[in-house]
Amino acid sequence: MNKIDIKSLYGLKYNPFLPGIPKHALYSLPGSETFELRIHSMARQGGFALITGEPGVGKSKTLHKIAGSLEKIPDLIVGVMQRPQSKLGDFYRELGELFNAPLSVSNRYGGFKALRERWLHHCQTTLFKPVLLIDEAQHVSDECLTELRILQSHQFDSKSLLFTVLCGDNRLPERFRSAELLPLGSRIGPRLVIEPLSPEQLQDYLHFALDQAGNSGLMTQELIKALAGHAANNLRVLNQMAAELLDAAAVKELPRIDEALFFQLFSPGRSRPKRN
């Protein structure tokens, strides 16, 4: 059963449990709306912000939602890094592509100047700093993070030419306590620590996701409670289980998904979805 069949069968605009959720339908985690407002303010000042949490709690989707809101601001340049694990040379190349700055592989200082001139021009012609979003930032090397700190610092650190939002797991705060990265850690402004959701919060998430997708009655309340209570407080696990239920229900052409199918699929003797 493919996604098109599922959408047609259940009157869904999209599958609410797969990663490709539209930006406008992303769920706001506790504390994320206040953090997003601070991000909009920081886009005028520059500097650094940080999102952290355990795997699967919704960090990347929160960053995705923030990216969508930032992209609506006229004239604001938003770059999203795709390969955070790059070594310094490739790190510079990607920055050059993101911000349309011509860089020479053999002239690192020339690339340093080109990026700063590009950012400075943007700062002078708009009310905002360029924005760099880095997901999975725990994989960025100490060398690249240090280079980024120096790269965006201007006039003896009295101004910033860029606003960077780092998003990653709980290794990041620990790394910022090291001697190498303490200068960067001390410069981080807004911080959002995403905590695992309670079963009640997971139920709210399921109601929201189903409503946004166009079929708020797709699952019974008993099933929603069962899913939320067996998801280990983890959004990724919850979505994996819900997606499996939706696939199984579609194969059976069930008009509505209830807890009977849940216990059939996730009985104690059956393997549970694993957290990555």
Residue 272 lies in a domain: no
Q: Which of 177, 194, 211 is the last residue of a domain?
A: 194
Q: Above 60 in pLDDT, residue 214?
A: yes
Would you state the pLDDT for residue 269?
56
- Let me know whether 68 and 84 are in one domain: yes
Q: What is the mean pLDDT of residues 9-13?
A: 94
CA distance 196 to 185: 24
pLDDT of residue 107: 83
CATH number, position 183? 3.40.50.300
Q: Tell me the pLDDT of the chain averaged across its residues.
A: 93
pLDDT recorded at residue 112? 92
Alpha helix ranges (H) inside the chain: 3-10, 32-45, 59-71, 88-98, 108-125, 142-152, 171-175, 182-185, 199-213, 221-229, 235-252, 259-265
Answer whether residue 150 shows pLDDT above 60. yes
Tokens of 215: 């079929």
Residue 106 above 80 pLDDT?
no
Let me know: does 176 contact 55? Beta carbons within 8 Å: no
Please tell me the total count of domains within the chain.
2
Instruction: Tell me, yes or no, whether 184 and 242 share the same domain.
Output: no
Answer with the one of 194, 222, 237 that is the final residue of a domain.
194
126 lies in the same domain as 214? no
Within-domain flag for 274: no
Provide the residue range defining the domain that includes 59.
Answer: 32-194
Nearest C-alpha neighbor of 1 from the set 245, 210, 218, 238: 245
* Tokens coding 9: 């069968």
**Average of pLDDT values for 204-214?**
97
| CA-based nearest residue to 64, from 92, 102, 24 | 24
**77, 122 contact by CB (below 8 A):** yes
Is the domain of 100 the same as that of 223?
no
107 DSSP β-pair partners = 104
Task: Give exposure, 5-37, as e/b (b: 16+ Cβ within 10 Å).
Answer: ebbeebebebbbbeeebeeebbbbbeebeebbe
Residue 27 vs residue 5, higher pLDDT: 27
pLDDT of residue 1: 41
Q: Which pLDDT tens digit goes with each residue over 54-104? A: 999 999 999 999 999 999 999 999 999 999 999 999 999 999 999 999 887
Is there a domain that residue 52 lies in?
yes
In a domain, 271, yes or no: no
In a domain, 186, yes or no: yes
Where residue 40 falls (left for φ over 0; alpha for ψ -120 to 50; beta otherwise) is alpha
Same domain, 156 and 170: yes
The arithmetic mean of pLDDT across residues 15-25, rounded, is: 92
Residues 202 and 147 in one domain: no
In a domain? residue 127: yes
9 and 118 fall within a common domain: no
Share of the chain above pLDDT 90, in %: 88
Q: Under a CB-based contact definition with an 8 Å cutoff, are residues 62 and 205 in contact?
A: no
pLDDT in tens, 230-276: 999 999 999 999 999 999 999 999 999 999 999 999 976 554 544 44
Measure the CA angle with vertex 63, ends 205 and 96; round to 5°: 160
Residue 157 CB neighbour total at 10 angstroms: 12
Dist. CA 15–CA 68, nearest whole Å = 20
Same domain, 103 and 146: yes
| pLDDT of residue 39 exceeding 70 | yes
pLDDT reported for residue 263: 93
Clarify whether residues 89 and 202 are in a common domain: no
223 and 178 in one domain?
A: no
Q: What is the CATH number of the domain that holds 8?
A: 1.10.8
Closest CA to 190 of 216, 156, 153, 165: 165
What SS3 class is residue 15?
coil
Q: Is the pLDDT of residue 108 over 90?
A: no
**Within this chain, do residues 43 and 95 fall inside the same structural domain, yes or no?**
yes
| Structure confidence at residue 3 (pLDDT) | 45
CA distance 126 to 91: 26
Q: Are strands 131-134 and 159-160 parallel, antiparallel or unpaired?
A: unpaired
At 172, is the pLDDT very low, low, confident or very high (cuts 50, 70, 90)? very high
47-53 sheet: strands from edge to edge? 78-81, 131-134, 163-168, 47-53, 188-194
